[in-house]
Amino acid sequence: MSESLVEISNMSFQHENGKTVFQDVDIVIPRGKITAIMGPSGTGKTTLLRLIGGQLTPSAGKIKVAGEIVHELSRTRLYQLRKSMGMLFQQGGLFTHMNVYQNVAFPLREHTQLSESMIHSIVLMKLQMVGLRGALHLMPNELSGGMARRIALARAIALDPALIMYDEPFTGQDPISMGVLVKLVKTLNKSLNLTSIIVSHDVSETMQIADYVYVIVDKKVVGHGTPDSIAHDSSSQLQQFIQGLPDGPVPFDYPALPLVNDFLQGAEKT
Amino acid sequence: MIDRFILTGQWGIDNLRNFGKAGVLFFRVLFYWPNIRKGFPLLVQQVYAEGVLSLPIIVVSSLFIGMVLALQGYHTLAKFGASQELGPLVALSVVRELGPVVTAILFAGRACSAVAAEIGLMKATEQLSSMEMMAVDPVRKVISPRFWGGFFSMPLLVIIFNATAIYGAYLVGVKWLGVDAGIFWSNMQSSVEFRADIFNGILKSLVFGIAVTWIAVFQGYTAVPTSAGIASATTRAVVYGSLAVLGLDFVLTAMMIGEW
């Protein structure tokens, strides 16, 4: 068995509107580890997860998951592969017409022939893992943001996937929820022997639990290594991101015309 | 000048691309059925949501349409001494044209707007994406049941519309204006043919059902995932659906009366 579960080589991606998001990116996600993909907002971290999940197709290069090139698979084969992946979406993506129990039971009902009593037991176990067994009968609109994300996590691990992808799991969480989530990600990875990919820009929380870190800035991987080596890297781009410095090579402003030109142009073209 | 030319070309390409996408979605809905065990309950749920819940608006509208038609028809026919032809006038107008067309337009406003908004919101809140990532095809699970729910609901609603409108006309023509009940019903029975009138009306409703639900699911599925995008998709589902019904009605009528 190969040591890496996901291999991205020379991958470039361009949106339909022509905007290039990635240029010749190489990323390797090792099995059984927590790999963090970090970078400023708008660098395409979520897009990267969608590329790994086969929801988007790269313009060039290859993305291999478990030895298979994701974007060359037939729909049937891709869906087979996705059964071994779980993804925690930024907003949770819970089905609003189903309660918590039905949400977590959904993948089990779709992909297994298990009896209802067996499904019930599995759902309870998954909800117990995220500490929300008591919220069984609540509807998604009755949950707080943090709770919704934990329920979505329980649903993502319902089928015991080999790979789990977290899209900004810590954004907008209160300190307690954040602490719980950080611990949960670490515990789940260890106890279920998962391979985890965390996409985030919460530097301290992510560095705490990641085994390996990739930092993407301006379409490219600007650094990778263990959290310790990243923290002590001399690259100015990395240091600016890690320390949250306002000035440096990573621009804060969206690309624009010189300020004078914009003012002189007037309001006509806005 | 050249900018306008470019914009027109871009508009044309965008529209063609959308037609292509709609065609692909239609193909997938037609040929990628959900399996019977899991799909049937979803279909029944949609027939309830789209068909049964549309009944109040269909019944009330059809009753008043039948009543107004009888009132207007009676006074016009009476001028020519032909008030006994009220039954055929109402029945033919309703089963051939008003039933399928008005039902489809009301259905587009009541059910298709809800379908487009629901699918659009599911997209905006990442429910469709999460379904895809769980290896469940949203076309089979979400789009297909809604399409077939609309397809099966429409002819049933048209039959109910026709019956209620004729009953409304009976109330006004016979009970209020004094047309003889025997003449009203027997003239209607002798003038209305099953194949040429009733069956053709139902056939129209099937075509309208396909058109309006296809437009609704496509608009929802391709909605821009923002509040403005969903509002616009919902509006387009109703407007395009209603216009498609009127356009198709002309084409189908021309074909059915043999002038095509």
B92-137 confidence digits (pLDDT tens):
999 999 999 999 999 999 999 999 999 999 999 989 999 999 999 9
Report yes or no: B217 and B116 within 8 Å, Cβ to Cβ: yes
- CA B73 from chain centre, in angstroms, equals 26
The full DSSP string for A119-162 is: HHHHHHHHHHHTT-GGGTT--GGGS-HHHHHHHHHHHHTTT--S
H or E element at residue B98: none
Report yes or no: B151 and B50 within 8 Å, Cβ to Cβ: no
Question: Inter-chain contact B126–A89, Cβ cutoff 8 Å?
Answer: yes
A64 in contact with chain B, both atoms CB, cutoff 8 A: no
Residue A132 confidence (pLDDT)? 87
How far apart CA B175 and CA B35 sit, in angstroms, is 51
Residue B260 confidence (pLDDT)? 58
Choose among A53, A90, A94: nearest Cβ to B133: A53
What is the number of H-type helices and E-type strands within chain A?
10, 10
Mean pLDDT, chain A, rounded, equals 86
Confidence band for A261, pLDDT divided at 50, 70 and 90: confident
* Residue A270 clears pLDDT 60, i.e. is over it: no
Question: Inter-chain contact B133–A82, Cβ cutoff 8 Å?
Answer: yes
Residue B180 confidence (pLDDT)? 92
Which of B126, B134, B222 to mutate against chain A (most A CBs within 10 Å)?
Answer: B134
Confidence band for B32, pLDDT divided at 50, 70 and 90: confident
Write out residues 127-156 of A within 8 Å (CB-CB) of B: 152, 155
The residue of chain A nearest to residue B128, with distances taken between CA atoms, is A93
Question: Inter-chain contact A107–B137, Cβ cutoff 8 Å?
Answer: no
- Which of A24-33, A179-188, B41-50 is predicted least confidently? A179-188
Instruction: Calculate mean pLDDT across residues A109-121.
Output: 92
The residue of chain A nearest to residue B39, with distances taken between CA atoms, is A110
Residue B22 confidence (pLDDT)? 93
How far apart CA A56 and CA A50 sit, in angstroms, is 6
Question: Inter-chain contact B132–A111, Cβ cutoff 8 Å?
Answer: no
Contacting residues of B for A159, CB less than 8 Å apart: 134
* Residue A238 clears pLDDT 90, i.e. is over it: no
* Residue A1 clears pLDDT 60, i.e. is over it: no
The predicted-structure confidence for A13-26, as pLDDT tens digits, reads as follows 988 778 888 888 89
Report yes or no: A196 and A186 within 8 Å, Cβ to Cβ: no
* Residue A251 clears pLDDT 70, i.e. is over it: no
Which of B133, B139, B224 to mutate against chain A (most A CBs within 10 Å)?
Answer: B133
Residue A222 confidence (pLDDT)? 83
Instruction: Calculate mean pLDDT across residues A60-68.
Output: 90
The predicted-structure confidence for B212-248, as pLDDT tens digits, reads as follows 999 999 999 999 999 999 999 999 999 999 999 999 9
Structure tokens at B157: 């609603």
The nearest CA of chain A is from the CA of B107 a distance in Å of 23
The residue of chain B nearest to residue A108, with distances taken between CA atoms, is B134
Residue A173's nearest CA partner among A160, A184, A163, A165 is: A184
Choose among B38, B133, B137: nearest Cβ to A87: B133
* Residue B47 clears pLDDT 60, i.e. is over it: yes
Torsion angle of C-alpha atoms A48, A54, A56, A61, degrees rounded to 10: 70
Burial of B81 (C-beta count, 10 Å sphere; 0-12/13-18/19+): exposed
Residue B143 confidence (pLDDT)? 93
How far apart CA B175 and CA B98 sit, in angstroms, is 23
The predicted-structure confidence for B154-213, as pLDDT tens digits, reads as follows 999 999 999 999 999 999 999 999 899 999 999 999 999 988 899 999 999 999 999 999
The nearest CA of chain A is from the CA of B97 a distance in Å of 37
Tokens 């599911």 — which residue?
Answer: B122
Residue A268 confidence (pLDDT)? 62
The predicted-structure confidence for A134-147, as pLDDT tens digits, reads as follows 998 999 999 888 88
How far apart CA B158 and CA A213 sit, in angstroms, is 62
The nearest CA of chain A is from the CA of B130 a distance in Å of 6
H or E element at residue A5: strand A4-14
Reading phi first (left if > 0) and then psi (alpha if -120 to 50, else beta), residue A13 is in: beta
Residue B161 confidence (pLDDT)? 96
- A4-14 and A60-65 beta bridge pairing: antiparallel
The nearest CA of chain B is from the CA of A87 a distance in Å of 7
Structure tokens at A148: 């919704």
The nearest CA of chain B is from the CA of A231 a distance in Å of 33
Question: Across-strand partners of B176?
Answer: none
Residue B95 confidence (pLDDT)? 94
Q: What is the ipTM of this complex?
A: 0.82
Residue B244's nearest CA partner among B51, B98, B101 is: B101
- Which of A124-128, B11-15, B28-32 is predicted least confidently? B28-32
Torsion angle of C-alpha atoms B127, A69, A21, A12, degrees rounded to 10: -170
Residue A98 per-residue DSSP state: S
Give the phi and the psi of residue A166 in degrees, each rounded to 5.
Answer: -110, 120
Q: Rank A70-74, A253-257, B60-64 by mean pLDDT and report only the highest.
A: B60-64
How far apart CA A243 and CA A203 sit, in angstroms, is 9
Which of A79, A98, A159, A168 to mutate against chain B (most B CBs within 10 Å)?
Answer: A79
- Cα→Cα distances B78→B40, B168, B181, Å: 52, 19, 16
pTM of the predicted protein model: 0.86
The full DSSP string for A178-214 is: HHHHHHHHHHHHHHTT-EEEEEE--HHHHHHH-SEEE
Q: B27: how many CB neighbours lie within 10 A of its CB?
A: 10
Residue A2 confidence (pLDDT)? 65
Question: Inter-chain contact A87–B130, Cβ cutoff 8 Å?
Answer: yes
Contacting residues of B for A17, CB less than 8 Å apart: none
H or E element at residue B156: helix B144-170
Residue B100 confidence (pLDDT)? 95
Instruction: Calculate mean pLDDT across residues B62-82.
Output: 93
The nearest CA of chain B is from the CA of A94 a distance in Å of 6
Chain A, chain B: beta-carbon pairs less than 8 Å apart: 53
How far apart CA A140 and CA A94 sit, in angstroms, is 7
Confidence band for B37, pLDDT divided at 50, 70 and 90: confident
Mutual angle of helices B99-107 and B227-256, in 10-degree steps: 170
Instruction: Calculate mean pLDDT across residues A226-248.
Output: 76
Contacting residues of A for B127, CB less than 8 Å apart: 93-96
The nearest CA of chain B is from the CA of A259 a distance in Å of 26
- Cα→Cα distances A194→A86, A181, B216, Å: 10, 16, 41
